[in-house]
Amino acid sequence: MDEAAYVVLMRVHLFFPEVGSLKGKRAELNRVKALLRERLHTSVAEVAHQDTWQRSTLAVAIAARSASLAQDTADTVQRALDGRFPQGVRCEYRLASWEDLEPIG
């Protein structure tokens, strides 16, 4: 039985040029996080710039049974965010297999 497991960890840098308050940023950010969680089936958390009006950095995690499926999902996330943020979004990511990861327990 094949027990392949792959993960992608993305760091997503967002800019909200039209937002003028933390409340406005939260509303927009909640829509983005819902898109990532519900439509693209990722895990997501804001990891930086929580108190900044127009910026946010998200950590997005993807789990998949193959490297190609993990890569395809990461590409889909990138395209979805590019379409939502035409003024710019920057994504960085790492793909790792189970064997690539250090054991912690």
Q: In the beta sheet, which residues pair with residue 91?
A: 12
pLDDT at residue number 1:
47
Specify the pLDDT at position 81: 95
Angstrom distance (rounded) from CA 24 to CA 55: 12
Section 22-51 average pLDDT: 94
Structure token pair of residue 46 = 């804001």
Supply the mean pLDDT for the chain. 92
Q: What is the pLDDT of residue 85?
A: 86
DSSP-assigned states of every residue in the chain: -----EEEEEEEEEE-TT--SHHHHHHHHHHHHHIIIIIT--EEEEEE-TT-SSEEEEEEEEEESSHHHHHHHHHHHHHHHHHH-TT-EEEEEEEEEGGGSPP--
Q: How large a percentage of the chain has pLDDT more than 90?
A: 74
Region of poorest pLDDT, from 17-21, 72-76, 101-105: 101-105
Q: CA-to-CA distance for 15 and 100, rounded, in angstroms?
A: 32
Distance CA 53, CA 17 (A): 9
Say what the pLDDT of residue 2 is. 62
Taking 60 as the threshold, does the pLDDT of residue 32 lie above it? yes
pLDDT tens, residue by residue, 41-91? 999 999 999 898 899 999 999 999 999 999 999 999 999 999 988 777 999
